[in-house]
Structure 1
Amino acid sequence: MKIRASFLLELIVNLALPWLAYRLALPHWGETGGLIASAVPPVIWSLVELARFRRVDALSVLVLLGIVLSIAAMAAGGSPRMLLLRESLVSGAIGVAFLASLLMPRPLVFYLARATVAREKADGAAQIDALWRARPAFASALRLMTAVWGVGLTVETAVRVFMAMTWPIERFLVVSPFASYGIYGALLLWTFWYRKGLKKRASDAGGAAGDFAG
Protein backbone atom coordinates (compact mmCIF):
# COMPACT_ATOMS: atom_id res chain seq x y z
CA MET A 1 0.00 0.00 0.00
CA LYS A 2 1.29 3.45 -0.83
CA ILE A 3 2.40 5.63 2.05
CA ARG A 4 -0.16 8.42 2.46
CA ALA A 5 -0.48 11.30 4.92
CA SER A 6 -3.37 9.65 6.76
CA PHE A 7 -1.40 6.42 7.13
CA LEU A 8 1.63 8.29 8.47
CA LEU A 9 -0.60 10.10 10.96
CA GLU A 10 -2.02 6.74 12.05
CA LEU A 11 1.49 5.39 12.65
CA ILE A 12 2.51 8.48 14.62
CA VAL A 13 -0.56 8.33 16.86
CA ASN A 14 -0.37 4.59 17.47
CA LEU A 15 3.41 4.06 17.65
CA ALA A 16 5.34 7.29 18.26
CA LEU A 17 2.95 9.04 20.66
CA PRO A 18 2.49 6.00 22.96
CA TRP A 19 6.28 5.72 23.25
CA LEU A 20 6.58 9.44 23.96
CA ALA A 21 3.82 9.31 26.60
CA TYR A 22 5.55 6.34 28.22
CA ARG A 23 8.93 8.07 28.38
CA LEU A 24 7.44 11.26 29.84
CA ALA A 25 5.37 9.43 32.46
CA LEU A 26 8.01 6.88 33.49
CA PRO A 27 10.07 9.16 35.82
CA HIS A 28 6.94 10.33 37.66
CA TRP A 29 4.61 7.30 37.78
CA GLY A 30 6.88 4.32 37.21
CA GLU A 31 6.57 1.45 34.76
CA THR A 32 2.86 0.79 35.26
CA GLY A 33 1.94 4.47 35.12
CA GLY A 34 4.00 4.87 31.98
CA LEU A 35 2.22 1.98 30.29
CA ILE A 36 -1.18 3.40 31.25
CA ALA A 37 -0.16 6.81 29.88
CA SER A 38 0.97 5.19 26.64
CA ALA A 39 -2.57 3.90 26.11
CA VAL A 40 -4.04 7.43 26.00
CA PRO A 41 -3.14 8.38 22.37
CA PRO A 42 -4.56 5.21 20.73
CA VAL A 43 -7.67 5.40 22.94
CA ILE A 44 -8.33 9.01 21.87
CA TRP A 45 -7.63 8.11 18.23
CA SER A 46 -10.06 5.19 18.40
CA LEU A 47 -12.78 7.40 19.88
CA VAL A 48 -12.27 9.96 17.11
CA GLU A 49 -12.39 7.24 14.45
CA LEU A 50 -15.56 5.84 16.01
CA ALA A 51 -17.21 9.26 16.06
CA ARG A 52 -16.21 10.13 12.49
CA PHE A 53 -16.54 6.82 10.65
CA ARG A 54 -18.51 4.57 13.02
CA ARG A 55 -15.63 2.10 13.16
CA VAL A 56 -12.69 1.37 15.45
CA ASP A 57 -9.16 1.66 14.04
CA ALA A 58 -7.63 -1.82 13.77
CA LEU A 59 -4.05 -0.71 14.49
CA SER A 60 -5.19 1.10 17.64
CA VAL A 61 -6.87 -2.07 18.88
CA LEU A 62 -3.67 -4.08 18.35
CA VAL A 63 -1.54 -1.45 20.12
CA LEU A 64 -3.96 -1.32 23.06
CA LEU A 65 -3.93 -5.11 23.25
CA GLY A 66 -0.16 -5.09 23.59
CA ILE A 67 -0.28 -2.44 26.32
CA VAL A 68 -2.90 -4.38 28.27
CA LEU A 69 -0.83 -7.56 27.99
CA SER A 70 2.26 -5.69 29.19
CA ILE A 71 0.43 -4.44 32.28
CA ALA A 72 -0.91 -7.96 32.90
CA ALA A 73 2.62 -9.39 32.68
CA MET A 74 3.83 -6.92 35.30
CA ALA A 75 0.87 -7.70 37.56
CA ALA A 76 1.65 -11.41 37.22
CA GLY A 77 4.98 -10.99 38.95
CA GLY A 78 7.13 -8.31 37.46
CA SER A 79 10.28 -10.43 37.63
CA PRO A 80 13.14 -9.39 35.33
CA ARG A 81 12.51 -12.29 32.98
CA MET A 82 8.79 -11.57 32.84
CA LEU A 83 9.56 -7.96 31.98
CA LEU A 84 11.88 -9.11 29.21
CA LEU A 85 8.92 -10.79 27.56
CA ARG A 86 6.51 -7.88 27.64
CA GLU A 87 7.57 -6.58 24.22
CA SER A 88 7.04 -10.02 22.70
CA LEU A 89 3.52 -10.28 24.06
CA VAL A 90 2.35 -7.86 21.40
CA SER A 91 3.73 -9.78 18.41
CA GLY A 92 2.71 -13.09 19.95
CA ALA A 93 -0.87 -11.97 20.53
CA ILE A 94 -1.10 -10.56 17.00
CA GLY A 95 0.39 -13.75 15.51
CA VAL A 96 -2.11 -15.95 17.33
CA ALA A 97 -4.94 -13.61 16.28
CA PHE A 98 -3.83 -13.86 12.65
CA LEU A 99 -3.75 -17.65 12.76
CA ALA A 100 -7.07 -17.90 14.61
CA SER A 101 -8.71 -15.63 12.03
CA LEU A 102 -7.98 -18.23 9.34
CA LEU A 103 -10.80 -20.26 10.90
CA MET A 104 -13.20 -17.39 10.28
CA PRO A 105 -15.00 -16.67 6.98
CA ARG A 106 -12.61 -13.76 6.40
CA PRO A 107 -9.07 -13.49 7.84
CA LEU A 108 -7.65 -10.57 9.78
CA VAL A 109 -5.65 -9.16 6.85
CA PHE A 110 -8.94 -8.73 4.97
CA TYR A 111 -10.28 -6.41 7.67
CA LEU A 112 -7.01 -4.48 7.88
CA ALA A 113 -6.99 -4.00 4.09
CA ARG A 114 -10.67 -3.09 4.11
CA ALA A 115 -10.21 -0.45 6.81
CA THR A 116 -7.23 1.05 4.98
CA VAL A 117 -8.99 1.33 1.62
CA ALA A 118 -12.21 2.58 3.27
CA ARG A 119 -10.24 5.40 4.87
CA GLU A 120 -8.98 6.51 1.46
CA LYS A 121 -12.16 6.06 -0.61
CA ALA A 122 -15.80 6.61 0.25
CA ASP A 123 -16.83 3.28 -1.29
CA GLY A 124 -13.58 1.49 -0.54
CA ALA A 125 -15.11 -0.99 1.92
CA ALA A 126 -17.80 -1.99 -0.57
CA GLN A 127 -15.19 -2.46 -3.30
CA ILE A 128 -13.06 -4.72 -1.13
CA ASP A 129 -16.16 -6.74 -0.21
CA ALA A 130 -17.05 -7.12 -3.89
CA LEU A 131 -13.47 -8.02 -4.79
CA TRP A 132 -13.44 -10.72 -2.09
CA ARG A 133 -16.63 -12.28 -3.47
CA ALA A 134 -15.75 -11.97 -7.16
CA ARG A 135 -12.08 -12.97 -7.19
CA PRO A 136 -11.12 -16.18 -5.36
CA ALA A 137 -7.44 -15.53 -6.14
CA PHE A 138 -7.61 -12.27 -4.19
CA ALA A 139 -9.22 -14.03 -1.23
CA SER A 140 -6.57 -16.76 -1.34
CA ALA A 141 -3.82 -14.14 -1.41
CA LEU A 142 -5.15 -12.45 1.72
CA ARG A 143 -5.42 -15.81 3.49
CA LEU A 144 -1.83 -16.65 2.57
CA MET A 145 -0.59 -13.28 3.82
CA THR A 146 -2.49 -13.81 7.07
CA ALA A 147 -0.96 -17.26 7.51
CA VAL A 148 2.61 -16.15 6.76
CA TRP A 149 2.48 -13.20 9.15
CA GLY A 150 0.73 -15.28 11.79
CA VAL A 151 3.40 -17.97 11.68
CA GLY A 152 6.23 -15.44 11.49
CA LEU A 153 5.06 -13.42 14.50
CA THR A 154 4.38 -16.56 16.51
CA VAL A 155 7.86 -17.91 15.73
CA GLU A 156 9.40 -14.57 16.72
CA THR A 157 7.66 -14.76 20.08
CA ALA A 158 8.68 -18.38 20.62
CA VAL A 159 12.33 -17.54 19.90
CA ARG A 160 12.32 -14.61 22.33
CA VAL A 161 10.60 -16.66 25.03
CA PHE A 162 13.22 -19.39 24.69
CA MET A 163 16.06 -16.88 24.91
CA ALA A 164 14.50 -14.97 27.82
CA MET A 165 13.97 -18.12 29.86
CA THR A 166 17.28 -19.88 29.17
CA TRP A 167 19.90 -17.23 28.35
CA PRO A 168 21.63 -14.77 30.68
CA ILE A 169 19.77 -11.47 30.68
CA GLU A 170 22.73 -9.51 29.26
CA ARG A 171 23.06 -11.90 26.31
CA PHE A 172 19.31 -11.70 25.70
CA LEU A 173 19.40 -7.90 25.59
CA VAL A 174 22.20 -7.97 23.01
CA VAL A 175 20.97 -10.76 20.72
CA SER A 176 17.16 -10.59 20.87
CA PRO A 177 16.78 -7.34 18.86
CA PHE A 178 18.75 -8.88 15.98
CA ALA A 179 16.56 -11.99 16.05
CA SER A 180 13.35 -9.97 16.12
CA TYR A 181 14.35 -7.49 13.42
CA GLY A 182 15.67 -10.34 11.28
CA ILE A 183 12.28 -12.07 11.37
CA TYR A 184 10.40 -8.82 10.80
CA GLY A 185 12.70 -7.97 7.91
CA ALA A 186 12.15 -11.38 6.31
CA LEU A 187 8.38 -10.94 6.63
CA LEU A 188 8.51 -7.49 5.06
CA LEU A 189 10.74 -8.63 2.18
CA TRP A 190 8.39 -11.53 1.49
CA THR A 191 5.40 -9.18 1.62
CA PHE A 192 6.98 -6.76 -0.88
CA TRP A 193 7.83 -9.64 -3.21
CA TYR A 194 4.42 -11.24 -2.94
CA ARG A 195 2.65 -7.91 -3.30
CA LYS A 196 4.14 -7.50 -6.78
CA GLY A 197 2.46 -10.70 -7.86
CA LEU A 198 -0.76 -9.64 -6.17
CA LYS A 199 -0.65 -6.30 -7.95
CA LYS A 200 -0.38 -8.04 -11.31
CA ARG A 201 -3.33 -10.29 -10.54
CA ALA A 202 -5.38 -7.38 -9.24
CA SER A 203 -4.53 -4.87 -12.00
CA ASP A 204 -7.42 -6.00 -14.19
CA ALA A 205 -9.87 -5.39 -11.33
CA GLY A 206 -8.74 -1.78 -10.82
CA GLY A 207 -10.27 0.41 -8.11
CA ALA A 208 -9.75 -0.93 -4.62
CA ALA A 209 -7.58 -3.76 -5.85
CA GLY A 210 -5.07 -1.31 -7.25
CA ASP A 211 -5.12 0.75 -4.07
CA PHE A 212 -4.50 -2.28 -1.88
CA ALA A 213 -1.80 -3.96 -3.97
CA GLY A 214 -0.03 -0.84 -5.18
Structure 2
Amino acid sequence: MKIRPGLVLELAVNFLLPWLAYRLARPYVGETGALIASAVPPLVWSAIELARFRRVDALSVMVLAGIVLSVAAMALGGSARMLLLRESLISGAIGVVFLLSLPMRRPLIFYLARASVAREMAGGAAHFDALWRERPGLASAMRVMTLVWGSGLTAETALRAWMALTWPVERFLVVSPFIGYGIYGGLALWTLWYRKTMRSRLQDSAPASGVAG
Protein backbone atom coordinates (compact mmCIF):
# COMPACT_ATOMS: atom_id res chain seq x y z
CA MET A 1 0.00 0.00 0.00
CA LYS A 2 1.48 3.33 -1.08
CA ILE A 3 1.14 6.41 1.09
CA ARG A 4 0.04 9.22 -1.22
CA PRO A 5 0.14 12.96 -0.45
CA GLY A 6 -3.63 13.26 -0.96
CA LEU A 7 -4.31 10.60 1.65
CA VAL A 8 -1.88 12.20 4.11
CA LEU A 9 -3.58 15.57 3.65
CA GLU A 10 -7.02 14.01 4.10
CA LEU A 11 -6.00 12.31 7.34
CA ALA A 12 -4.32 15.47 8.63
CA VAL A 13 -7.39 17.62 7.97
CA ASN A 14 -9.82 15.12 9.48
CA PHE A 15 -7.82 13.91 12.49
CA LEU A 16 -4.69 15.94 13.26
CA LEU A 17 -6.14 19.44 12.78
CA PRO A 18 -9.34 18.73 14.79
CA TRP A 19 -7.18 17.42 17.63
CA LEU A 20 -4.94 20.50 17.52
CA ALA A 21 -7.96 22.82 17.40
CA TYR A 22 -9.44 21.05 20.41
CA ARG A 23 -6.23 21.24 22.46
CA LEU A 24 -5.63 24.90 21.64
CA ALA A 25 -9.21 26.03 22.23
CA ARG A 26 -10.00 24.07 25.39
CA PRO A 27 -8.17 26.35 27.89
CA TYR A 28 -10.09 29.36 26.60
CA VAL A 29 -13.59 28.13 25.72
CA GLY A 30 -14.01 24.90 27.71
CA GLU A 31 -14.67 21.38 26.47
CA THR A 32 -17.88 22.13 24.56
CA GLY A 33 -16.38 25.13 22.78
CA ALA A 34 -13.25 23.15 22.00
CA LEU A 35 -15.30 20.34 20.45
CA ILE A 36 -17.08 22.87 18.29
CA ALA A 37 -13.73 24.37 17.28
CA SER A 38 -12.47 20.91 16.32
CA ALA A 39 -15.27 20.65 13.77
CA VAL A 40 -13.96 23.64 11.79
CA PRO A 41 -11.16 21.88 9.79
CA PRO A 42 -13.29 19.01 8.42
CA LEU A 43 -16.17 21.43 7.82
CA VAL A 44 -13.96 23.76 5.78
CA TRP A 45 -12.47 20.78 3.94
CA SER A 46 -15.94 19.51 3.05
CA ALA A 47 -16.91 22.96 1.74
CA ILE A 48 -13.78 23.07 -0.44
CA GLU A 49 -14.44 19.57 -1.77
CA LEU A 50 -18.02 20.49 -2.57
CA ALA A 51 -16.99 23.69 -4.34
CA ARG A 52 -14.16 22.10 -6.35
CA PHE A 53 -15.48 18.64 -7.20
CA ARG A 54 -19.22 18.84 -6.43
CA ARG A 55 -18.94 15.97 -3.96
CA VAL A 56 -19.13 15.57 -0.19
CA ASP A 57 -16.13 14.03 1.55
CA ALA A 58 -17.39 10.89 3.30
CA LEU A 59 -14.59 10.77 5.88
CA SER A 60 -15.19 14.38 6.86
CA VAL A 61 -18.90 13.68 7.26
CA MET A 62 -18.11 10.80 9.62
CA VAL A 63 -15.72 12.95 11.68
CA LEU A 64 -18.27 15.76 11.88
CA ALA A 65 -20.99 13.31 12.90
CA GLY A 66 -18.79 12.03 15.71
CA ILE A 67 -18.12 15.56 16.97
CA VAL A 68 -21.82 16.47 16.84
CA LEU A 69 -22.71 13.31 18.75
CA SER A 70 -20.05 14.08 21.34
CA VAL A 71 -21.41 17.60 21.89
CA ALA A 72 -24.97 16.26 22.09
CA ALA A 73 -23.97 13.54 24.55
CA MET A 74 -22.40 16.14 26.84
CA ALA A 75 -25.86 17.62 27.25
CA LEU A 76 -26.99 14.33 28.82
CA GLY A 77 -24.98 15.02 31.93
CA GLY A 78 -21.53 15.40 33.36
CA SER A 79 -21.20 12.40 35.66
CA ALA A 80 -18.09 10.27 35.36
CA ARG A 81 -19.98 7.30 33.96
CA MET A 82 -21.85 9.46 31.45
CA LEU A 83 -18.56 10.91 30.21
CA LEU A 84 -17.16 7.40 29.81
CA LEU A 85 -20.29 6.30 27.97
CA ARG A 86 -20.11 9.37 25.74
CA GLU A 87 -16.83 8.18 24.24
CA SER A 88 -18.42 4.86 23.31
CA LEU A 89 -21.47 6.38 21.62
CA ILE A 90 -19.51 7.87 18.72
CA SER A 91 -18.07 4.64 17.30
CA GLY A 92 -21.36 2.89 18.02
CA ALA A 93 -23.33 5.44 16.03
CA ILE A 94 -20.93 5.06 13.12
CA GLY A 95 -21.30 1.27 13.34
CA VAL A 96 -25.08 1.56 13.24
CA VAL A 97 -24.87 3.84 10.19
CA PHE A 98 -22.70 1.21 8.47
CA LEU A 99 -25.29 -1.49 9.16
CA LEU A 100 -28.21 0.71 8.11
CA SER A 101 -26.49 1.38 4.79
CA LEU A 102 -26.38 -2.34 3.91
CA PRO A 103 -29.85 -2.45 2.27
CA MET A 104 -29.00 0.61 0.20
CA ARG A 105 -27.91 0.29 -3.42
CA ARG A 106 -24.46 1.48 -2.38
CA PRO A 107 -23.31 0.88 1.21
CA LEU A 108 -21.32 3.43 3.16
CA ILE A 109 -17.91 1.86 2.48
CA PHE A 110 -18.51 2.40 -1.25
CA TYR A 111 -18.41 6.17 -0.74
CA LEU A 112 -15.37 5.98 1.54
CA ALA A 113 -13.49 3.84 -0.97
CA ARG A 114 -14.49 5.98 -3.94
CA ALA A 115 -13.40 9.16 -2.16
CA SER A 116 -9.98 7.62 -1.50
CA VAL A 117 -9.58 6.44 -5.10
CA ALA A 118 -10.64 9.86 -6.39
CA ARG A 119 -7.72 11.45 -4.55
CA GLU A 120 -5.21 8.83 -5.61
CA MET A 121 -5.69 9.07 -9.37
CA ALA A 122 -7.15 11.35 -12.03
CA GLY A 123 -10.68 10.27 -12.87
CA GLY A 124 -10.61 7.91 -9.93
CA ALA A 125 -14.29 8.35 -9.05
CA ALA A 126 -15.44 7.47 -12.56
CA HIS A 127 -13.04 4.51 -12.66
CA PHE A 128 -14.36 3.20 -9.36
CA ASP A 129 -17.98 3.61 -10.54
CA ALA A 130 -17.13 1.59 -13.64
CA LEU A 131 -15.57 -1.17 -11.56
CA TRP A 132 -18.65 -1.20 -9.33
CA ARG A 133 -20.92 -1.70 -12.34
CA GLU A 134 -18.77 -4.19 -14.22
CA ARG A 135 -17.45 -6.38 -11.43
CA PRO A 136 -20.18 -7.82 -9.17
CA GLY A 137 -17.49 -9.22 -6.89
CA LEU A 138 -16.50 -5.70 -5.87
CA ALA A 139 -20.04 -4.88 -4.77
CA SER A 140 -20.20 -8.07 -2.73
CA ALA A 141 -16.84 -7.31 -1.13
CA MET A 142 -17.96 -3.79 -0.18
CA ARG A 143 -21.07 -5.18 1.50
CA VAL A 144 -19.07 -7.76 3.44
CA MET A 145 -16.67 -5.03 4.64
CA THR A 146 -19.61 -2.81 5.60
CA LEU A 147 -21.18 -5.67 7.57
CA VAL A 148 -17.95 -6.59 9.37
CA TRP A 149 -17.04 -3.01 10.30
CA GLY A 150 -20.58 -2.14 11.32
CA SER A 151 -20.87 -5.24 13.48
CA GLY A 152 -17.42 -4.73 14.98
CA LEU A 153 -17.97 -1.09 15.90
CA THR A 154 -21.43 -1.82 17.30
CA ALA A 155 -20.14 -4.74 19.38
CA GLU A 156 -17.22 -2.64 20.66
CA THR A 157 -19.63 0.08 21.76
CA ALA A 158 -21.97 -2.37 23.47
CA LEU A 159 -19.08 -3.95 25.36
CA ARG A 160 -17.55 -0.62 26.43
CA ALA A 161 -20.97 0.75 27.40
CA TRP A 162 -21.57 -2.28 29.64
CA MET A 163 -18.14 -1.80 31.18
CA ALA A 164 -18.72 1.92 31.71
CA LEU A 165 -22.05 1.34 33.47
CA THR A 166 -21.09 -1.66 35.62
CA TRP A 167 -17.35 -1.57 36.28
CA PRO A 168 -15.52 0.74 38.69
CA VAL A 169 -14.29 3.83 36.83
CA GLU A 170 -10.63 3.06 37.59
CA ARG A 171 -10.90 -0.45 36.12
CA PHE A 172 -12.65 0.87 33.03
CA LEU A 173 -9.92 3.46 32.41
CA VAL A 174 -7.24 0.76 32.59
CA VAL A 175 -8.92 -1.94 30.50
CA SER A 176 -10.99 0.07 28.01
CA PRO A 177 -8.11 1.25 25.78
CA PHE A 178 -6.95 -2.33 25.27
CA ILE A 179 -10.48 -3.36 24.29
CA GLY A 180 -10.87 -0.50 21.83
CA TYR A 181 -7.44 -0.74 20.21
CA GLY A 182 -7.67 -4.52 20.11
CA ILE A 183 -10.96 -4.45 18.19
CA TYR A 184 -9.84 -1.65 15.86
CA GLY A 185 -6.54 -3.42 15.22
CA GLY A 186 -8.34 -6.66 14.49
CA LEU A 187 -10.69 -4.94 12.06
CA ALA A 188 -7.79 -3.21 10.32
CA LEU A 189 -5.79 -6.43 9.93
CA TRP A 190 -8.86 -8.28 8.66
CA THR A 191 -9.47 -5.47 6.16
CA LEU A 192 -5.91 -5.67 4.80
CA TRP A 193 -6.19 -9.45 4.44
CA TYR A 194 -9.65 -9.32 2.87
CA ARG A 195 -8.69 -6.51 0.50
CA LYS A 196 -5.66 -8.47 -0.72
CA THR A 197 -7.76 -11.61 -1.15
CA MET A 198 -10.53 -9.85 -3.06
CA ARG A 199 -8.05 -7.96 -5.25
CA SER A 200 -6.53 -11.28 -6.32
CA ARG A 201 -9.97 -12.72 -7.06
CA LEU A 202 -11.02 -9.68 -9.09
CA GLN A 203 -7.79 -9.76 -11.10
CA ASP A 204 -8.23 -13.46 -11.79
CA SER A 205 -11.80 -12.92 -12.99
CA ALA A 206 -11.00 -9.87 -15.16
CA PRO A 207 -9.80 -11.77 -18.28
CA ALA A 208 -12.89 -13.98 -18.24
CA SER A 209 -15.23 -11.00 -18.05
CA GLY A 210 -13.33 -8.96 -20.62
CA VAL A 211 -12.91 -6.01 -18.30
CA ALA A 212 -9.59 -4.19 -18.40
CA GLY A 213 -8.02 -3.44 -15.02
TM-score between the two structures when normalised by the length of structure 1:
0.92
Which amino acid letter does the alignment assign opposite residue 96 of structure 2?
A: V
Q: CA deviation at 1:202?
A: 2.7
* In structure 2, C-alpha distance between the alignment counterparts of 1:149 and 1:3, rounded to whole Å: 22
Post-superposition shift, 1:122? 3.2
Aligned partners of 2:54 and 2:36: how far apart in 1? 25
Give me the whole-angstrom Cα distance separating, in 2, the residues matched to 1:119 and 1:52. Answer: 13
Paired letter, 1:136: P
- Which residue is 2:145 aligned to? 145
CA distance in 2, matches of 1:44, 1:188: 28
Q: Does the residue aligned with 2:77 lie in a helix, a strand or coil? A: coil
Give 3-state SS (helix, strand or coil) of 2:145's partner. helix
The answer for the alignment partner of 1:24 in structure 2 is 24
For residues 138-189 of structure 1, the C-alpha deviation after alignment (integer angstroms, 9 at most, x for no partner) is 1111110110000000011111100100011111111100000000111011
* 1:150-161 alignment, distance < 5 Å: 150-161=150-161
Gaps of 5+ in 2: none
Give the distance between the partners of 1:45 and 1:132, measured in 2 at CA: 26
Taking the aligned partners of 2:189 and 2:89, their CA distance within structure 1 comes to 23
Percent of matched pairs sharing the same residue? 73
Relative distance call for 1:111 and 1:148 in structure 2 (3 A) is: same
- Tell me the amino acid that sits aligned with residue 154 of structure 1: T
Superimposed CA distance per residue, residues 99-126 of structure 1 (whole angstroms, 9 cap, x where no aligned partner): 0110101111111111111223332222
Matches of 2:156 and 2:42, distance apart in 1: 25
* Amino acid in structure 2 at the alignment position of 1:198: M
Q: Are 1:100 and 2:108 an aligned pair?
A: no
Task: Report whether the alignment pairs 1:35 with 2:35.
Answer: yes
In the TM superposition, residue 2 of structure 1 has moved relative to its aligned partner by 3.3
Tell me, in whole angstroms, the C-alpha distance in 2 between the residues paired with 1:200 and 1:159: 35
Q: Which residue of 2 aligns with 1:85?
A: 85
Match of 1:130 in 2: 130
Q: CA deviation at 1:3?
A: 2.1
**d(CA) in 1 for partners of 2:4, 2:135:** 26
Give the CA RMSD over aligned residues. 1.7
Counterpart of 1:100, as a letter, is L
Aligned to 1:191: 191
Q: Name the CA distance, whole Å, in 2 between partners of 1:143 and 1:101.
A: 9
Contact 2:98 2:150 in 1 (8 A): yes
Pairs within 5 Å for 1:61-80: 61-80=61-80
Greater mean deviation of Cα atoms: 2-11 or 178-187: 2-11
Instruction: Give me the whole-angstrom Cα distance separating, in 2, the residues matched to 1:89 and 1:19.
Output: 18
**Segments of 4+ in structure 1 off by > 3 A?**
none
Which blocks of at least 5 consecutive residues in structure 1 are unaligned?
A: none
Is residue 178 of structure 1 aligned with residue 178 of structure 2? yes
Structure 2 CA distance, aligned partners of 1:185 and 1:120?
A: 24
Q: 2: distance between equivalents of 1:122 and 1:30?
A: 43
Output the CA distance in 1 between the equivalents of 2:137 and 2:67. 36
DSSP-derived class of the 1:36 partner: helix
